Amino acid sequence: MIDFSILVAVFFTLCVYSFLYKESPFWRIAEQTFIGLALGYTTILAIKNIIDVAWIPISTGKNYWFIGSIILGLMLYTRFIRKYSWISRWPMAVLIGIGTGVAMRTVIEAQIVRQISATFISLMADTAQKTFNNICIVIMVVTSLFYFTFTGAPGKVSGKIRTIGRYTLMLTFGATFGYTVLTRMTLLIGRFTFLWSLGARYYLLVIGIIMLLALALKEKIEKLVQGKHSSLSF
Amino acid sequence: MLIAGRYSSLVFLLAFSIITFYIIQRSRRGKAPQIRKLPAIDAIDEVVGRAAEMGRPLIYTVGGVLDNVEAPQAITGFTILDYVAHKTAKTGVDLIICPRFATHIPIVTDIVREAYRAEGTLDLFKPERIQYYSDTQFAFATGVMGAIARERPASFIMIGAWWAEALMFLETAVIYGAMSIGGTANTHQIPWIVLCTSYTLFGEEMFAAGAYLSKDPISVGTIGATDIERYIIISLILLGVILVTMGIPFLNRLLSM
Amino acid sequence: MEKYVVWKDHRWIYLLLIVVVSIPILSPIGLPVPISKSTMMSFDLIEKLPKGSKVLVSSVLAGGNWPDLGPPETALVQHLFRRGVKIVFIGFADETPTITETTLLPRINKYGARYGEDYVNLGFLAGGESAMAAFANDIRKVVTVDFVLKKPIAEIPIMKDIYKCSDFDLVIHIGMAEDPIRQYFTPFRVPLIVGVYGMMGPHYIPYLEAGQLSGMVIGLRGAAEYEYLLGFKGEGLMGSDSLSMTHLLVALFCILGNVYYFITKTKRKGDKR
Amino acid sequence: MSEFLRRDIPLLITAFLTLFMLAEYFIDLPILGKLGGDIRSWGVVISAFVLPIGIVTLVRNNVTIIRRREKNWPYYLWSLIIMFTMIITGLIGDLGKHPVFIWLYNNIFTHLSSTMYSILAFFITTASARAFRARNVDAALVLISGVFVILTVAPIGEVIWPGIPVIGNWFLDIPNMAGMRGIIIGVGLGVLALGIRTILGYEKGIVMGEKER
């Protein structure tokens, strides 16, 4: 008995991977379905969110001020009317003002003050290894901070300091490179764990082979289709 | 009156606000801080020079959504494009531009046309060399990959807010032997750009190059102010380290007030 | 084309990767998983949580990032249910409440926890960091009803004495780490553990070292370590062999590619002379 | 007058709200906290309205493509059909609880979105084989620390040689920690500078949209 849900899931997964072999109608179906479903889903969640956060407080008579926020929310949509699109700047200004203020007030302690005091480490620690590490940390923090200064005079010494800073940052990007491989391979493993799972394995082989054949003979199929429907360009 | 435990943040906020306000005011009155000649600009000159020398095209892509947090990176991309367009107008290099979003097309077209008019070679300006593919990520990336394979450029420059698509066309640029320069503030994409290009502008260095070229008083003023703030932070760290090494945790307690 | 390119048609490399990722899935090898410091810190902190203490689990879990964020959140939430603490779920991505109900909770042994008394799902708030700040400072002002039963917050037993972020004994955030540090830890000083995307791990090491994070579980690798500590075989441990093989492949390509490059480079320099 | 409404009011709103959020955080006045809570709850409501803007933009783009019969127009038509199916089934009965809505989400959407992001694993592998070369010192340093960190993340690293995780973790805890701290402070200064410019009204960018620039 064919499990239609697994069949559809395997089909769309392989449609995306068909992009690796050849750009084809399979890929375009997958891409457009993804965009359509994503926006359809977001709409429902947005409506649900508006009801929970704005409509219910008003309908239960809790707080009539919320009507103001709904009006501001609707003002966003004036951006689609050319003549009045400037009105949408008011609600955008509210969002940007809150967002900037909320991030700014705590970023000072979280990303500046606390990071400075965390770098107060002794250069004569208990073990030789720790002392070496602490010296490296202090030098590397100071040089990578100094690397991003642009108005000082371009002297020999400042050039040397900036080079150390740039090399530190390169080692930092190496670590990011290492862990980015982790994220990308994780997503790949997640997909193939599903494709090789007992339920999906047979669909993988059947749909996979059919799709490979269709892609291999893509050019021939297109000539065939071209003959019949000149307007439909696949 | 003030909430305890937040005094040090408030002191930093007030101090840095005054520094930023003062430096921007001075720079708007004409006394802007001097940004040093950045190695990035030399790298861009070298890459444009290579395209002129080999008589092959130069592909320039600019990325970043205009109406959100990515806007500053897109603007820097436009500023550097203006600089490059002036150079290609002078040297007659075939400049191809691949804008990331449809909203970039009018802006990019104006920049290049004005640059060619300013250099007096308006006849060399060809609007069809501005090739737009799609707003969606992978369709844009495959479009740029196709352009690189088709045009076989000598040089490739990509400035802006890049995401996963960066690696796709960077690899193609390396395979086809283009000498390339990359610039972004998205730290998660910098490893690829460093590994595939001859020079990388990352984070503030990209904004500094933009300010150096645009001479916009507010951007140059902001960079001057942030430099002073960095010198303050560096001296605080060095002072703190010395005090802690001598066993005086005075600065620690001061900063955690 | 660059002369020293090893593979003309890159699609053979795709096939090789598919083979390398599939073999360990079909026949696992079972390599040991060393435990890292950041995962150990998280496990020890939750292990010491007294029964009945209140924990906030805020997350941006979604279909697209499930393989990266799902396993860490599953391991952490499984440990919370085992400790018998009270859990409040809140989502900051539009899919989070749905995927928490349909995918996350069904695979967790809840040790008889009852919805409403021991755990509750407060749904989704739009607005990113600003919504997080709004939620942390005054929950009842932005959340009116819960996600599952649609009951007003005041009538839900678990929410009886919870008004703002400081009423929680521990906060766990799944997603990025900087906005929870700015909106949960910095203003309220509540201990914060994060489950983050693998690629963001290195970016948050300074916060761990500065004491702003009390623990961090980094992507699938962190989840595998945590599952090993909890003693149950989830997606993390099942995927760790494939993780080894695929990483080894990339590392070998980097090494061999550069060895080949330097050999041909010296040969090329030789021709020029 | 219209200039005042069009440009100055939005800038004043942004500057005032940024300042208010700062005042609420630093000054110990309960009234500020209460008002701040109200403003933020307004923000959450407005943000909810931002989400569907993507739909209006997409529908507008797709309709123009379909009307002009541009290349691949049938796919854009399909995109609208599947989107409205999702919206209509989502609206029937309890919001987002209709069986077809949940089926489309579980069996197509989640698979599509995680597969889309997994495709990058292939590009990393080909790029590491063909493009990642130590052409200059920068790339060499990224490769050295990169390879050690990759083999530290993979459990097999320790099996090959116990020294790998020791070196890998050193790269992670010392140079990476120091370099990232420099970047974090830099980003902090950037957020601060953007905030200060917003309060001073120099930051027209995001509020005005691209026409103004």
CB of B238 less than 8 A from some CB of A:
yes
Angstroms from A28 CA to nearest CA on chain B: 10
Cβ distance of B9 and D193 shorter than 8 Å? no
Helix (H) or strand (E) holding B59: strand B58-63
* Residue numbers of the domain that contains D178: 132-213
Percentage of chain A modeled with pLDDT above 90 = 44
Inform me whether the pLDDT recorded for D213 exceeds 50: no
Q: Is residue D187 part of a domain?
A: yes
Inform me whether the pLDDT recorded for A230 exceeds 60: no
Shortest CA distance from A234: residue in chain D: D72
The CA distance from B60 to B73, in Å, is: 15
Cβ distance of D27 and B1 shorter than 8 Å? yes
The β-bridge relationship of strands B179-184 and B155-160 is parallel
pLDDT at C271: 52
Inform me whether the pLDDT recorded for C83 exceeds 50: yes
Of C183, C194, C166, C198, the closest CA to residue C76 belongs to C194
pLDDT at D51: 77
Exposure string of B212-237, with b = 16+ CB inside 10 Å and e = fewer, is bbbeebbbbbbbbbbbbbbeebbebb
Shortest CA distance from C9: residue in chain B: B175
The CA distance from C220 to D121, in Å, is: 15
Which residues on chain B are in Cβ contact (under 8 Å) with D209?
Answer: 66-67
Evaluate whether C214 touches C41 at the Cβ level (below 8 Å).
yes
Convert the pLDDT of each residue in C227-261 to its tens digit. Answer: 999 998 888 999 999 999 999 999 999 999 999 88
Inform me whether the pLDDT recorded for A61 exceeds 80: no
Chain A and chain D share a number of CB contacts under 8 A equal to: 378
pLDDT band at B38 (very low <50, low <70, confident <90, very high): confident
Which residues on chain D are in Cβ contact (under 8 Å) with B191?
Answer: 142, 146
How many CB atoms are located within 10 Å of the residue C83 CB? 18
At the topology level, CATH places domain B39-214 in: Rossmann fold (3.40.50)
Strand ordering across the sheet containing C192-196: C119-124, C86-91, C54-59, C170-175, C192-196, C215-218
β strands within D19-157, DSSP E: none
pLDDT band at A177 (very low <50, low <70, confident <90, very high): very high
The CA distance from B191 to A177, in Å, is: 6
Compute the average pLDDT of residues B118-126. 87
Cβ distance of D51 and A191 shorter than 8 Å? no
CB of C205 less than 8 A from some CB of B:
no
pLDDT band at B228 (very low <50, low <70, confident <90, very high): very high
Burial class (CB in 10 A: 0-12, 13-18, 19+), A55: middle
26-85 in A: which are within 8 Å (CB) of C?
Answer: 41-42, 45-46, 48-49, 52-53, 56-57, 60, 62
Mutate one of D31, D103, D114 to test the C interface: name it (highest C CB count within 10 A): D114
Considering CB atoms only, which of B2, B170, B218 is closest to D131? B170
Angstroms from A10 CA to nearest CA on chain D: 8
Inform me whether the pLDDT recorded for A233 exceeds 70: no
Shortest CA distance from B249: residue in chain A: A120
Of D157, B108, B236, the closest CA to residue A116 belongs to B236
The CA distance from C168 to C161, in Å, is: 10
Q: Is residue D190 part of a domain?
A: yes
Compute the average pLDDT of residues A154-175. 92
Evaluate whether A18 touches A24 at the Cβ level (below 8 Å).
yes
Compute the average pLDDT of residues C120-125. 92
Cβ distance of A185 and C21 shorter than 8 Å? yes
Q: Which residue has the tokens 């460093």?
A: B194
Q: How far, CA to CA in Å, does C126 sit from each of C135, C136, D171?
A: 11, 14, 38
For chain B, give every domain's residue range. Answer: 39-214
DSSP sequence for D122-173:
HHHHHHHHHT----SHHHHHHHHHHHHHHHHHSTHHHHH-THHHHHHHHHII
CB of D114 less than 8 A from some CB of C:
yes
Convert the pLDDT of each residue in D45-85 to its tens digit. Answer: 888 888 778 778 778 878 888 888 877 788 888 989 999 99
Q: Which residue has the tokens 């909810």?
A: D48
Shortest CA distance from D26: residue in chain C: C187
Average pLDDT, chain C: 90
CB of C5 less than 8 A from some CB of B:
yes
Structure tokens at C109: 């042994």
pLDDT at D208: 58
Q: How far, CA to CA in Å, does A27 sit from each of A15, A17, D82, D145?
A: 5, 8, 16, 36
Instruction: Supply φ then ψ for residue B16, to 5 degrees.
Output: -70, -30
Compute the average pLDDT of residues C71-99. 94
- Up-side HSE of residue D21: CA atoms within 13 Å toward CB? 32
Structure tokens at B26: 């001075």
Considering CB atoms only, which of C179, C186, C219 is closest to A183? C219
Inform me whether the pLDDT recorded for C270 exceeds 70: no
Exposure string of A65-78, with b = 16+ CB inside 10 Å and e = fewer, is ebeebbebbebbbb
Q: Point out the least confidently predicted range of A41-55, A181-195, B103-117, D89-103.
A: A41-55
Which residues on chain D are in Cβ contact (under 8 Å) with C259?
Answer: none
Of C58, B222, D197, D1, the closest CA to residue A150 belongs to B222
Which residues on chain D are in Cβ contact (under 8 Å) with B1?
Answer: 27-28
Inform me whether the pLDDT recorded for D211 exceeds 50: no
Give chains near B: 3+ CB pairs under 8 A.
A, C, D
Q: Is residue D169 part of a domain?
A: yes
CB of B72 less than 8 A from some CB of A:
no
Which letter does DSSP use for residue B249 in this model? T
Evaluate whether C38 touches C222 at the Cβ level (below 8 Å).
yes
pLDDT at C1: 44
* Residue numbers of the domain that contains C142: 37-241
Which amino acid type is present at position B46?
A: E
pLDDT band at B67 (very low <50, low <70, confident <90, very high): low
Inform me whether the pLDDT recorded for D106 exceeds 90: no
Angstroms from B180 CA to nearest CA on chain A: 18
Could you give the number of structural domains in chain C? 1
CATH number for the domain including C116? Answer: 3.40.50
The CA distance from A76 to C42, in Å, is: 42
Q: What interface predicted TM-score (ipTM) does this complex get?
A: 0.89
